[in-house]
Amino acid sequence: MNISFVAKTEDKSVNIGISDIYYIATGVVMLFGFIVGWFYKSNFWMAFIYVGIVLVAAFLIDEIKTKKDIDYINSRIKKKESGAK
């Protein structure tokens, strides 16, 4: 499955894939984790697991929320087309 996000600016567009987001988030977590002492240098690999779990959960929650929003919008459109308020 290929998930990507496109950020458009006036002169160009940037395509950011899910793996890019994972690596960026992992880097931020590792950097911040070392600064505040969340984990030691010997077990930094745990950041990859933490970020992976949270990222998957966030995408699943977002997918469910988006599906509900789409269903709600579609039902409102159908009501409007049928003339009901």
User: Which residues in the chain land under pLDDT 70?
Assistant: 1-16, 84-85
- Asked whether 21 and 58 are in contact (CB, 8 A), the reply is no
Identify how many contiguous H helices and E strands the chain contains and give both numbers: 2, 2
Predicted local distance difference test score (pLDDT) of residue 72: 92
For the chain, helix, strand, coil in percent to 5 are: 70, 10, 20
Predicted local distance difference test score (pLDDT) of residue 77: 92
Predicted local distance difference test score (pLDDT) of residue 33: 80
